[in-house]
Amino acid sequence: MDDVVDALDAAAGTTCLVGAGGKKTTLYALADRLDRAVLTATVRIPIFDREVAEVRVSDDPVGAVEAAATEGTAFPLGLVPERERDDRYRGYDPAVVDEIAVAHDGPVLVKADGARTRLLKAPNEREPQVPSGADRVIPVASVGAVGEPLTAEAVHRPERVAAITDAEVGDEITPELVGRVLAHEAGGLKDVPPEATPIPMINAVDDDADGETAREIARVVHERADVPRVVLARMIAGEVVDVVD
């Protein structure tokens, strides 16, 4: 299972990316490989026009999807409600994304969390924004967080990571800590809908040493959470390195 679509089971339905360290890169890689993909968000998302065939800014996304079906629109199609600033779009309410998924006959890809380019995160009380009809949720962390201090330079909301892992802000980040974050119901598994499948992904696995570290993280995830697999990836190249069942 070396294809990112197969590894993340993302060929159909709604796939949501949460966490830190590779969400957008993964979304773009999936969109590039999927037939008739719609790419959207429930949170702010940087301008991504170059990553899709077209972006439509619409307060009627269901109408936009239905029009795309009859107009011969090129896919992947980006759908957003508003361009907030020169560098980013706003996202839809999660319930609206559920409506998009019902109206669209292809896969829907959703950025459902923000991390301000950090390598690891734990969500606050308002995060993530996962649609209730999501088919799968992909919690992401970067293996590059391991060895860094648990501070805001590498971690979004380090105090929350510390709180759910019995760590202290400033501690060195270990594979155990990353695995615990990914597997925690207040971390990577927060607000995963009951019918959705969580598939954690460890990104930035660039060499053998990273692979060993990522497999240690995956072991911790499997010890602490009921997930079908943990995907090890190098998403900057759109590659799956390994799948740990």
| pLDDT beneath 50: ranges in the chain | 1
Residue type at 118? R
Structure tokens, 75: 């896919």
Structure token digits, residue 124: 């606050």
d(Cα 197, Cα 180) in Å, to the nearest integer? 18
Give 59's contacts (C-beta < 8 A, 6+ positions apart).
81, 82
Domains of the chain, each with CATH number or no CATH: 4-244 (3.40.50)
Count helices and strands (H / E) in the chain: 7, 15
pLDDT digits (tens, 9 = 90+) for 79-108: 999 999 889 999 999 999 999 999 999 999
Percent with pLDDT over 70 in the chain: 99
How many angstroms from the chain centroid is the CA of residue 191?
13
Q: Say if strands 38-41 and 108-111 run parallel, antiparallel, or are unpaired.
A: parallel
**Per-residue pLDDT at 242:** 97
The percentage of residues in the chain with a pLDDT greater than 90, rounded to a whole number, is 96
Six token digits for residue 235: 């998403």
Query: Quick one: tokens of 230?
Result: 């943990």
Query: What is d(CA 225, CA 182) in angstroms, rounded to the nearest whole number?
Result: 9
CA distance 57 to 207: 40
Nearest Cα residue to 73 out of 89, 54, 59: 54
The overall pTM is greater than 0.85? yes
pLDDT in tens, 172-183: 999 999 999 999
User: How confident is the model at residue 1, as a pLDDT?
Assistant: 43
